[in-house]
Amino acid sequence: MSAVLPADGALADALQKSEGVWHAAWRRFKADRVGLVSLVIVVGFLVLIVLSALGLVASQWQNEVGVANAPPTFMGPAAAESTAAIEVPKGPNVDLSDVDPLAPRYKEWDERAKEFATTETVKAETLPFGGDRLGRDVLAKAVKGTEISVFVGVMAALCATLIGTGLGAFGGFFGGKVSDFLEWVYNVFESIPNILLIFAFAAVVGRGVESVVVILALTGWTGMYRQVRAEFIKHRSREYVRSAEAIGASVGSRMFRHILPNVSHVILVRMSLLAVGFIKAEVILSYLGLGVRVDQVSWGTMLAEAQSELILGHWWQLAAATLFMAVFVTAFSLMADAWRDALDPKLRGLE
Amino acid sequence: MAAYLIRRLWQMIPTLAGVVLLVFFLFKYFGGDPAEVLGGLNASAEQIAAIRQQLGLDEPVLVQLWVFVKQIVTFDWGKSWATNEAVSNLFATRLPATLTVMIPILVLDVLLALPIAMWVAYRRGSLTDRTIMVVTTVALSISFLVYVIVGQYVFGFQLGWFPVQGWSDSVWKNLVTYAPLPVMLAVAVGLAPQTRLYRSFLLDELGQDYVRTARAKGMTEGVVLFRHVLRNAMIPILTNIGLQLPGIFVGSFLIEVFFSIPGLGREVLLAVNRSDFPVIQAVTIYLAVLTMFINLLTDLAYKVADPRVVLK
């Protein structure tokens, strides 16, 4: 062979190592400018989320740093208009101590009060991005809300993927009774309208971040199951799997070491689409009070507060939550689309 | 045809049994103790025991399941735990409001999204197409909540074109006064995903050989689009409408909450917040049955849309 091939090292290398699927996908992805920009935005958000989770940014989001509903401006408060001060009445106050039943205790209370040190906090008149109805910084809230909303969406997508992939792999690989049973479970879940299924689970599971993750994962795995099952059916009789069987690979090894890596791109794409859907679902659940607890903040709870603030003309919390969510979700969906195009060109154009 | 129908109906039984089991065990083992929900925080142990006995919770599980199945078959769910209203009455009084809002939404969604999708699919790659795709991507990433909050504020409160919320007893008044704003907002929200979906269906068909053949024969573009392409794209379009159809009975619960529409969706949400199990169970099971029948009807509609479809 070496006599036939030119003695060119680079070519020989290229012939020996064919381009891996991930490598090829990355090459295609790099050519997609929209995909790259959205990847950068998503990574930026992820960095923000990690910082916020570590308590490096927005850890003080619950502090009331401004006055209630502080308006957003970088210019500082407008100069207070001088209003004609109401004249302080001159002359001595009327002495009420002989009729005031509390009068003998005023002195005692004053002394008691002196034992406690009080600090005057200066509350800002305006904040760069505005304050909510308690005077908390909307920007810090939006960052913290991003952390919770994205965490819930991604965790739920991860759990749904585990359930869907596991069941799909078993159903597709084994066929027969196992497959029939899983198809039955799938049909049962599919026949209940999704929102009702979520409500039914929400009624029994309770509130909190973990509950939302559980609810969304338990109700959202069906699409993933269906797709992974179809892929496993397609792959289980392919030559490479049969060769693996011939050399004595166990069932588990064939399923997860041979087939799974070959269908992982499908799973990844479907998972990123799931995450987008779950983030939007979390926002709605939190708005309805079925989501995160009251001492936490998510985009959904921000929007819930924003609704009553808007009537009073305080639009900034609505704007902050909407903007953060719109930018992240747009970037994430565009990135998922770019991944899909790069990983599986056959699926291009699919919703 | 008859054989097909019988077989399809026969196949529904195991699925239906699954739904019943799922709902029963979900509420039985994960839902907390109904007696404690009903008794409240201050109930004594005897009161709890009395409620348990009244509800039959001390019976064996199989007996309880049998009672549950009997309730489903006889449509007798007893009364709501929270309001003491008969569950069947609740369905009858809440459903009209939901349908008043949801049917216009579904019809308008299809009637608007389909022409837009045809237009952009026909002009694929043009500036219009790309603009609409970008606009829909951004529109999709904004939460449904934002549309409703801002829409209600702008059109109801600021401009005063519509009442902010409300409902009346007259269907006509509801339809012309109270429904337009919620319907308009829901359609605006649904338009982006629907347009994208229909566009992809139509694009699949526009690339087919028969389109080129029809054009080669000298058919006008109108005939090609409406008689050939649309007819062929009908199956995925019908599937999509069939998937949305069960939703019109639960309604858009968000719309109902925002606009105080006394519909089924709001009732279910209230039931979830009050742990009113009979209402949630009844809605879930009947909606599942309805969904199965709608799926069957969709499959039958395929046959009408495309005579080549063989039902077997």
Give me the residue from A187, A201, A306 closest to B149, CB to CB: A306
First-residue to last-residue Cα distance in chain A = 48
Nearest of A209, A207, A200, A220 to residue A290 by alpha carbon = A207
**Residue from B144, B148, B175 nearest B164 by CA:** B148
Give, as one character, the DSSP assignment of residue A313. Answer: T
| Residue burial B52-79, b: 16+ Cβ < 10 Å; e: rest | beebeeeeeeeebbeebeebbeeeebee
Residue A246 clears pLDDT 60, i.e. is over it: yes
Chain A contact probe: residue of B19, B37, B102, B145 with most A CBs at under 10 A: B145
- Count contacts between A and B (CB, < 8 Å): 125
Residues of chain B with pLDDT under 70: 32, 250-251, 312
In this complex, is the C-beta atom of B186 within 8 Å of any C-beta atom belonging to chain A? no
How does the average pLDDT of chain A come out, rounded? Answer: 81
Give the C-alpha separation, B247 to B265, whole Å: 10
Coil, helix or strand for A64? strand
Residue A206 has pLDDT above 80, yes or no: no
With cut-offs at 50, 70 and 90, classify the pLDDT of residue A255. confident
* Mean of pLDDT values over A80-90: 64
In angstroms, what is the C-alpha Rg of chain B? 24
Q: Give the pLDDT score at A351.
A: 40
Phi and psi (nearest 5°) for A219?
A: -100, -10
pLDDT of residue A350: 45
Residues of chain A contacting residue B291, judged by C-beta atoms under 8 Å apart: 191-193
DSSP state letter for B143: -
- pLDDT tens-place string over residues A153-190: 999 999 999 999 999 999 988 888 888 899 999 988 98
pLDDT classification of A118: cutoffs 50, 70, 90: confident
Q: Is the Cβ pair A188, B203 closer than 8 Å?
A: no
A191 to chain B: closest CA residue: B288
Q: Are A342 and A35 in contact (CB under 8 A)?
A: yes
Q: What angle do CA A331, A334, A337 make, to 5 degrees?
A: 150
Q: Tell me the residues of chain B between 220 and 259 that have a Cβ less than 8 Å away from chain A.
A: 246-247, 250, 253-254, 257
A207 versus A13: the higher-pLDDT residue is A207
Helix B277-305 / helix B264-273 crossing angle, nearest 10 deg: 140
Of B247, B250, B272, the CB nearest to A290: B272
Q: Position of tokens 């702008």?
A: B154
Q: Of residues B46 and A16, which shows the higher confidence score?
A: B46
> If residue A305 lies in a helix (H) or strand (E), which one and from where to where?
helix A299-311
Please check whether residue B273 touches A, CB under 8 A. Answer: yes
Q: Are A216 and A156 in contact (CB under 8 A)?
A: yes
Contact flag B283-A334 (C-beta cutoff 8 Å): no
Q: Give residue-wise pLDDT tens across range B200-218.
A: 888 888 888 888 898 898 8
Chain A interface, Cβ < 8 Å to B: 184-185, 187-189, 191-193, 195-197, 199-205, 280, 283-284, 287-290, 299-300, 303, 306-307, 310-311, 318, 322, 325-330, 333-334, 349-351
* B157 touches A at CB < 8 Å: yes
Cβ-nearest to B145 among A189, A303, A350: A303
- How far away is chain B from the Cα of A53, in angstroms, using its nearest Cα? 24
Task: Write down the pLDDT at residue A349.
Answer: 46
**Structure tokens that stand for A97 in this block:** 């101590």
Rounded distance between C-alpha atoms, residue A275 and residue A282, angstroms: 10
A36-75 b/e with 16+ CB inside 10 Å = b?
eebbebbeebeebbeebeeeebbeebbeebbbebbbbeee
* B189 min Cα distance to partner chain A (Å): 13
Q: Would the CB atoms of A325 and B142 count as touching at under 8 Å?
A: yes
Does any CB of chain A come closer than 8 Å to the CB of residue B197? yes
Q: How many CB atoms lie within 10 A of CB A345?
A: 10
Of the spans A156-160, A263-267, A282-286, A339-343, which averages the highest pLDDT?
Answer: A156-160
- Pair A199, A143: CB distance under 8 Å: no
Residue B240, judged by CB atoms within 10 A of its CB (0-12, 13-18, 19+), counts as middle
As a residue count, chain A comes to: 351
| pLDDT for the residue numbered A142 | 87
Cβ(B113)–Cβ(B190) below 8 Å: yes
In sequence order, what are the residues at sequence separation of 6 or more whose Cβ sits closer than 8 angstroms to the Cβ of residue B224?
B211, B214, B215
pLDDT-derived band at A44 (thresholds 50, 70, 90) equals very high
Structure tokens at B274: 């009050």
Q: Tell me the backbone φ, ψ of residue A32, rounded to 5 degrees.
A: -95, 105
| CA A326/CA B245 separation, integer angstroms | 28
Look up residue A176 and give its amino acid.
Answer: G
Model confidence band, residue A2 (pLDDT cutoffs 50, 70, 90):
very low
A208 DSSP assignment: S
pLDDT digits (tens, 9 = 90+) for B49-64: 887 777 777 778 888 8
Contact A203 B31 (CB under 8 A): yes
- Cβ contact (<8 Å) for B15 and A351? no
pTM: 0.81
Would you state the pLDDT for residue A84? Answer: 60
Chain-chain contact of B18 with A188 (C-beta, under 8 angstroms): yes
Residues B146 and A234: their CA atoms lie apart, in Å, by 43
Which residues 60-99 of B are in CB contact (within 8 Å) with A?
none
Largest Cα–Cα separation, chain A: 120
- Residue B224 CA to residue B212 CA, distance in Å, equals 9
* Residue partners of B123: CB distance under 8 A and separation at least 6: B129
Helix axes B87-122, B277-305, angle to 10 degrees: 40
3-class DSSP state for residue A72?
strand
- Shortest distance between the Cα of B218 and any Cα of chain A, in A, equals 30
Look at residue A11 in the predicted model and tell me its pLDDT: 55
Please tell me the distance in Å from A206's CA to the nearest CA on chain B: 9
Rounded to a whole number, what is the distance in Å from the CA of B159 to chain A's nearest CA? 13
Per-residue b/e over B19-32, b at no fewer than 16 CB within 10 Å? bbebbbebbbeebe
Contacting residues for B194 by C-beta, under 8 A, at least 6 apart: B109, B110, B113, B117, B240
- In chain A, the residue whose alpha carbon lies closest to the alpha carbon of B203 is A349
pLDDT of residue A9 exceeding 70, the answer is: no
Check B284 against A200: CB less than 8 A apart: yes
Closest listed residue to residue A311, CA positions, set A133, A162, A57, A176: A133
Could you tell me which chain A residue has the CA closest to the CA of B28?
A204
Q: Closest partner residue to A204 among B14, B19, B30, by Cβ? A: B30
Q: Are B35 and B55 in contact (CB under 8 A)?
A: yes
Distance (Å, whole) CA A224 – CA A267: 7
Of residues B196 and A346, which shows the higher confidence score? Answer: B196
Asked if B275 reaches chain A (Cβ–Cβ under 8 Å), the answer is: yes
Reported ipTM: the value is 0.81
Confidence of residue A3 (pLDDT cuts 50, 70, 90): very low
At residue A10, does pLDDT exceed 70?
A: no
